[in-house]
Structures are given as C-alpha cells and as structure tokens.
C-alpha cells in the first residue's frame, strides 16, 4: 500500500492584484497564472459544470454543479457563526437525513443567502429540490452560497441556472471542472481547482477539489467554501472522521483577516467508482485520511495565496508545544495579529510583535524557553531572532532580504514538548482596505 500523492499543480507564490471580478486572467502575474491548472485527471463517475444565470451583473458564471453518476457517502464541516446562512442549515439537515446516498453539490455565487430568514431557507431548499428533480433522488445534494449577506436569492434565475448547468455537465477539464471552479468565484482573482491521485491497496484513487475565498477567512470547524470528491468508497462515519482530521490541519489552519463567514462549508463526497474500499479503521483508512489532509491543505493554501490585498504567503510553524491544540492556538493567534501582519507588509523585522502575540495567546508559555526564527523558502540559512528567551544580534540587511520574499516561514519553538502544527496566513495591506471598502459598489 503506497501513500504517494500526485497533485496536478504545486503551490506557487501570489501577489497583490486588483479585484477585477473577471474570468480573464491575463492581468495576473505569472506566479498567479501558474496556480491555474490547464489540465487534470478527475475522479471516475463525477461530472461538473458552471454557468451564468443572472445573479452577477457582470455576466460571470454564478451557478456551479457537480454530480455523481452513482450514490455517494458524504460529510461536511460548517461555520460555527451564530448567523448560519440558509444553505448551511439546509445542508446540515440533508446530511442528518442522508449521508450515504448523495449525488452532488450545488453552489451559487454573488449572493450569500445569509441572514435572509424563512424565505432564505425556502430558497436553499428549492436549490436542493431542483437537483433532486434532475437526478430523480430525494435529499440528493448539498447546497452552498457565497456573496453579499442580507439579500434574497433570485431563486427563479438560479433554478434555471441549475438546469442549464446540469445539461452542460462534463467530465472534461475545460468544459466541466474549470467552468465549475469559475462559478465559485467572488473576489477571488483565480479559480482554485486541484486534482490528485494516490495508490490504495493496488487501486488508483483520484481526488478533485474546488475552494473559494479571499476575504472573511478565519476558521472554526470549517472556513470559506469548498468541496472535495473522490472515487474511493468510504463509510460515512469514517469519511466524517477523516474530514474533521483534515479540516483541522488545513482549512481550519488558515487566516486572512480574522473574520469568520456565515457560510463556511467544506464538504466531501465519495462514490466508490475506483473499487478502492475503506470500511473500517486501519492502514487503508489512515492512508486515505492523510491523503485527504494533504489535498485539503493544498486547496486551503490557495485561498491564502489569493488573500485580498495580500503580497506575502506566510507559514506560522509552531513547534515544541505540549499538545497539538496548544500549538494550533498559538499559531492562530499570531496569524491574526494586525501588528504582525502589517509589519510583514512593511517588510519590518519587528519580531517582538510575534512574541507579544504569543504571550497573550492563552496557552502556557515559558518565555525563557521560546525561540523565534525567520526561515527563508529559498533553502538558505534561517535567521535567528531569539533563542531560548535571549535576543540575537539581528542582521537587519539579511532580515530585509528575507522579508522581501513572497513566501516566508516564521518558526516559533515553545521548548515544552513534541507537538507542532503549521498555520497559513498573509500580510495586511492598503489594498485590503480598498477592496472591502467598496465591496458592494
């Protein structure tokens, strides 16, 4: 049994881009264009599509649909925001009644259907019911929406769009999956689509996934919108357990602005078309869980690389913690510090802000044991900032060189144990304020 994940596109660097709400990507830097896949190998039995139905005024795609030709087991993690959007509530209800005979995921962009009361719930159910009528199975689909909060869906347009998307479903990259990924986009500058394969007990298992998000990103049980599909057969309880494990180490380990959306949903469907089966916990389950985690991390990192106004992709690596939970709490706290993020944007090696954030993160900290380093991603030597509580004489020129790089690792060693985690974030720029100051205009 091999555990070799083969992703179609690796992670590359991102840069600040004006949010043009466009599916023409020629204005992007070459590093961002390289994040957009030109081909992919997709799971057996799944087809995808995306169309424009009229939610977005600019003519961009706004309805996405993925359908399996056979029943799927399903699982999802959702926002813990008190203002859960209607599609979140409807998807939770769908999974509670049917987690082993799902057929798809339907999504609209441009309107979040959040804080929309009874009418919003009815509209989300109508989205699911439209899919039910097409696949001829009840409770067949999970629903997602993204966009402006507090506005009702133009549901008749969306119902027509779902039917159009169903009629144009394709298993191909350009005609199906890329169109689907584009239909997820709001302030995203590029579609976030990935495929990958790994070997499981002599069978080739394929995964595909789409994520979206560029702002209002900070996790708690889930974050942003996204889904993954696979042609492995996985029992629903095991799929739910694997997704929770994966989300905690991927989508729950990213932050752009510290805000949690009303619509956060990450879902996974497994249809068994490859013949690979995961029916009990054991080696096969662990391989699947770890591959799902790696795949989810790749999708999650794309969101950070497309962070609104972001000029840097920053990995917060906290190690030497007593527990995984402590490491994650510390990393999360540092990643959302406005002082840390603005210093990164200004290329200021003000590492004291990292210590200050760690010091009130809520975990046990012994300042005399803490070490902090900047780790460049070009393979050159790390820059030591503080070692076991003692400040180093910092080479400011070298620090400036590292902070000019688009990718940076901040390594924090708590010196207390063996647990560690990584959290992915970005800097905070003037552009972020500009984007969110005129989001509805």
Burial 160-194 (b: 16+ CB within 10 A, else e): bbbbbbbebbbeebeebbbbbbbbbbbbbbbbbbb
Among 116, 130, 223, 336, the one annotated catalytic: 223
Pairing type for strands 265-270 and 63-78 reads: antiparallel
Say which residues have a Cβ less than 8 Å from residue 143's Cβ, sequence separation at least 6: 87, 90, 91, 94, 105, 106, 107, 124, 127, 128
The half-sphere exposure of 32 on its side-chain side, counting CA atoms within 13 A, is 24
| Distance between CA atoms of residues 220 and 248, nearest Å | 9
| Distance between CA atoms of residues 199 and 49, nearest Å | 27
Q: Is the dihedral of CA 12, 15, 21, 24 positive or negative?
A: negative
DSSP string, 40-64: ----TTEEEEEE--SSSTT----EE
Question: For the CA atoms of 83, 87, 93, 97, what is the dihedral angle to 10 degrees?
Answer: -160
CB atoms under 10 Å from CB of 81, counted, come to 17
What's the token pair of residue 390? 């003692």
DSSP letter at 231 equals S
| Distance between CA atoms of residues 20 and 122, nearest Å | 32
**408 membership: H or E segment, kind and range:** strand 407-413
| Distance between CA atoms of residues 383 and 374, nearest Å | 5
Look up 223 and say whether it is catalytic.
yes
| Distance between CA atoms of residues 380 and 372, nearest Å | 17
| Distance between CA atoms of residues 189 and 63, nearest Å | 17
Say which residues have a Cβ less than 8 Å from residue 200's Cβ, sequence separation at least 6: 1, 2, 232, 276, 278, 284, 287, 288
Q: Which of 155, 195, 253 is nearest to 43 (CA)?
A: 195
DSSP letter at 2 equals -
Catalytic residue ranges? 223
């Amino acid at each position: 049994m091999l555990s070799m994940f083969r992703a179609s596109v690796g992670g590359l660097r991102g840069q600040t881009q004006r949010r043009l709400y466009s599916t023409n990507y020629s204005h992007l830097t070459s590093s961002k264009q390289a994040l957009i896949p030109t081909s992919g190998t997709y799971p057996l039995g799944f087809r995808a599509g995306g169309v424009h139905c009229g939610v977005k005024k600019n003519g961009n795609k706004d309805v996405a649909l993925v359908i399996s030709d056979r029943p799927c087991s399903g699982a999802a993690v959702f926002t813990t925001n008190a203002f859960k959007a209607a599609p979140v509530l409807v998807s939770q209800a769908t999974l509670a009644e049917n987690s082993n005979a799902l057929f798809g995921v339907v999504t609209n962009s441009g309107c979040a259907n959040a804080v929309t009361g009874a009418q919003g719930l009815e509209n989300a159910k109508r989205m699911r019911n439209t899919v039910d009528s097409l696949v001829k199975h009840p409770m067949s689909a999970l629903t997602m929406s993204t966009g402006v909060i507090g506005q009702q869906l133009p549901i008749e347009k969306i119902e027509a769009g779902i039917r159009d998307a169903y009629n144009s479903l394709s298993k191909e990259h350009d005609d199906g999956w890329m169109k689907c990924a584009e239909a997820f986009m709001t302030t995203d500058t590029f579609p976030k689509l990935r495929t990958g394969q790994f070997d499981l007990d002599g069978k080739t298992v394929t995964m595909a996934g789409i994520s979206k998000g560029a702002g209002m990103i900070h996790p708690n049980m889930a974050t942003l919108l996204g889904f993954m599909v696979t042609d492995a057969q996985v029992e629903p309880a095991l799929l739910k357990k694997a997704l929770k494990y994966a989300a905690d180490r991927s989508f729950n380990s990213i932050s752009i602005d510290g805000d949690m959306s009303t619509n956060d949903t990450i879902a996974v469907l497994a249809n068994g078309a490859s013949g690979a089966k995961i029916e009990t916990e054991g080696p096969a389950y662990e391989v699947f869980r770890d591959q799902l985690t790696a795949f989810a991390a790749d999708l999650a990192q794309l969101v950070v690389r497309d962070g609104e106004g972001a000029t840097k992709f920053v990995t917060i690596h906290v190690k030497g913690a007593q527990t995984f939970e402590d490491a994650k709490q510390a990393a999360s706290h540092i990643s959302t510090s406005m002082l840390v993020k603005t210093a990164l944007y200004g290329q200021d090696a003000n590492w004291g802000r990292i210590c200050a954030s760690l010091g009130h993160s809520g975990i046990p900290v012994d300042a005399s044991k803490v070490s902090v380093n900047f780790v460049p991603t070009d393979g050159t030597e790390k820059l030591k900032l503080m070692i076991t509580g003692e400040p180093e004489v910092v080479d400011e020129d070298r620090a400036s060189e590292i902070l000019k790089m688009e990718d940076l690792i901040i390594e924090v060693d708590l010196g207390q144990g063996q647990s560690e985690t990584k959290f992915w974030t970005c800097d905070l720029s003037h552009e972020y304020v500009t984007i969110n100051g005129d989001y509805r205009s």
